[in-house]
Amino acid sequence: MAAQKTVSNSPKKLTKFSKSLIWGLSISVLLLAIFAKLSNDLLYHELETFDRVIGELIRGFDTPYLTSVAIIITHLGSAYIEIGLMFIVGALLWFRLNHTWETVLLAISFGGAWLLNTILKELFHRARPDIVHLVKAGGYSFPSGHAMVATAFYGVIGYLLWLHLRNRSKPSWYIIVLTFALIIMIGISRIYLGVHFASDVIAGYASGGVWAIACIIGLKEIRKYK
């Protein structure tokens, strides 16, 4: 009977994983297409009007209060904040919940996104906007490191929170909403503060999203064979 139950459950697990894999791959293809389009337009200098219009629109709301808020939000996408969170959340997952692979996933989501972003910036060599920067920023501009790493890192944290809280009495959908809101606000703050073009941020979202999906699918694959 136990053997029959195991066999009967296997197709269900396989079907569930296959559906998530198909969804993940489909979204990844869409995100890669967006990144490819932006990269092509960048190489052929076709982003100037788009970046100027979006940038002026966002910076048009400039007030001292919003600037202070934007600086706080942009710091949430800084490496030192994310590394600190990685150690805190990683320690909780490892020592309190004994979820070793989730801790590894968290580290890979951050480290991998940071490494890929560094490589991409070196490939495209795009200078930052030639306007006043309201925060210090160095290096190249495309794709946005804050947007890319935040999408991957906070995206994975949001997924892990959802994974552990989805079966409880309280609704878990708000975790996904808050995760997306945080990622979007970090990207917008980079445009508002004058250190990135809108296309940099969108490219960061796209590339970071692909990396987050790859990390999540990898975790699903590992959990399937545990």
- Residues catalogued as catalytic: 146, 196
Question: Which candidate, 119, 116, 110, places its Cα nearest to that of 82?
Answer: 110
User: DSSP 3-state helix, strand, coil percentages of the chain (rounded to 5)?
Assistant: 80, 0, 20
Distance separating alpha carbons of residues 208 and 75, to the nearest angstrom: 18
Largest CA distance in the chain: 71
**Euclidean distance between the first and the last CA atom of the chain, given in angstroms as a whole number:** 22
Cβ-proximal residues to 203 (8 Å cutoff; 6+ apart), any chain: 34, 35, 38, 39, 142, 143, 144, 147, 148
Instruction: Confirm if 210 and 31 have CB atoms less than 8 A apart.
Output: yes
Residue ranges with strand state E in 66-146: none
Distance separating alpha carbons of residues 43 and 20, to the nearest angstrom: 34
Q: At what angle do helices 48-59 and 198-225 cross, to 10 degrees?
A: 90
